[in-house]
Structure 1
């Protein structure tokens, strides 16, 4: 009986799935169409994050899935990984300029999805900074500068430049130009266009202080 000679087992990288269509939309989906990819972008648009922080703010993703997606995103040059200087000595992931260009995509998705964002389901996780992107719609043309937003679920801040540039980050701002306190239901109404910021303040559903600053 002849013996088959066994060759050393080599690890093979799975081929990324492709639509194999010569179409810009299809090519884009080849890169960002996988489950969790755009939600990872949503988190990293708020600034560099450690792996553990990403995992904490992406409820439902497995550690293997998150690690795989981040590796894919590094390969497509959406994300970079760098080490923070001592004494922190931890690695963080952050978006490349190419990755940050996805903000308008996420804004369009949030605007499209806002009308179907009803009351939270019992199984829904909620994070305050998830409201930052849809809230930008209500703030543009109304606010210029840094606004700190406080919800029952937490605090985030958004920056609206005079040139139309926008960004956001989790947590309080160092020196906000304004403070806004409201609730998730009002945030949802502002995001969908049901309410303007002025209407929310007049109705007592939002409280705006443009004089308080924190050091």
Structure 2
């Protein structure tokens, strides 16, 4: 029954048996893949999804969530008391999309058309850290860094050249970086010194400064593709 639900589609865009074509049937509508991106770090309420995706109307969000539910990618449930609110989350199969979404993002970042001045959600920031870590820079360093942005808190734990990110209370973090999502970009990807960002009021550092200073140097954007 579950398999039937996952593979049932209301309409077909492509008469093509390729898995890529079927994938586009599932996530090819505008906003669908970005909704999935916002759910990669855990369940979200309807309003939280809208907040992370400026320009997405409530009506379209409702439609896309319903479509993703029918496809078996997203499910909704109510959190127990005292929260007692409805949230949306990726199904186990939906969570398997993470490497696909990150690979697509990394590929697209090579385009000269990428505009870093556009809106950037907290989830996008944390996923970019996971995606753009340079393992050679991290080597065998272990670190636990908290990131506070737009009233959300996240944990970034580095171990054996891999960065794991998650929403969390930031317990046991060696250093904490705070600021808006966009304020992190000049420091992490633009080479702006962390101290300069502090003086400008863009970021705030708490805890072990040496850990924070090294952490922000571990990431790099991919090289731009040459456009002929």
**Same structural fold, with TM-score higher than 0.5 when normalized by the shorter chain:** yes
- The separation in 2 between residues aligned to 1:203 and 1:114, in whole angstroms, is 27
- The separation in 2 between residues aligned to 1:152 and 1:55, in whole angstroms, is 14
The structure having more radius of gyration, on CA atoms, is: 1
Q: How far is the alpha carbon of 1:147 from its aligned partner? A: 2.6
Distance 1:156 1:139, change over 3 A: farther
Q: Deviations over 1:57-95 (max 9, x none)?
A: 111111111011111111111111111112221101111
C-alpha contact (below 8 Å) 1:129/1:155 kept by paired residues:
no
Give the unaligned 5+ runs of structure 2. 1-8, 199-204, 213-228
Distance 1:205 1:109, change over 3 A: farther
Deviates most, 177-186 or 18-27: 177-186
Moved over 6 A (4+): 151-154, 200-207
Aligned length: 185
- 1:107-146, aligned counterparts within 5 Å? 107-115=102-110, 116=112, 117-120=114-117, 124-136=118-130, 137-138=132-133, 140=135, 142=138, 144=142, 146=144
Q: Which SS does the other structure have where 2:129 is aligned?
A: helix
Q: What RMSD over aligned residues (CA atoms) do the two structures have, in Å?
A: 3.3
Q: How far is the alpha carbon of 1:24 from its aligned partner? A: 1.2
C-alpha contact (below 8 Å) 1:106/1:133 kept by paired residues:
no
- The separation in 1 between residues aligned to 2:47 and 2:151, in whole angstroms, is 20
Distance 1:16 1:168, change over 3 A: farther
- The separation in 1 between residues aligned to 2:165 and 2:150, in whole angstroms, is 22
Q: Which SS does the other structure have where 2:119 is aligned?
A: coil
2:13 pairs, out of 18, 23, 33, with 18
1:105 aligns with 100
C-alpha contact (below 8 Å) 2:145/2:176 kept by paired residues:
yes
C-alpha contact (below 8 Å) 2:52/2:122 kept by paired residues:
no
1:158 aligns with 156
1:27 pairs, out of 22, 25, 48, with 22
2:187 aligns with 186
Give the unaligned 5+ runs of structure 1. 1-13, 190-194
C-alpha contact (below 8 Å) 1:140/1:160 kept by paired residues:
no
1:47 pairs, out of 34, 42, 49, with 42
1:7 aligns with none
**Larger RCO (alpha carbons 8 Å, 6+ apart):** 2
Scaled by the length of structure 2, what TM-score is found? 0.66
Scaled by the length of structure 1, what TM-score is found? 0.69
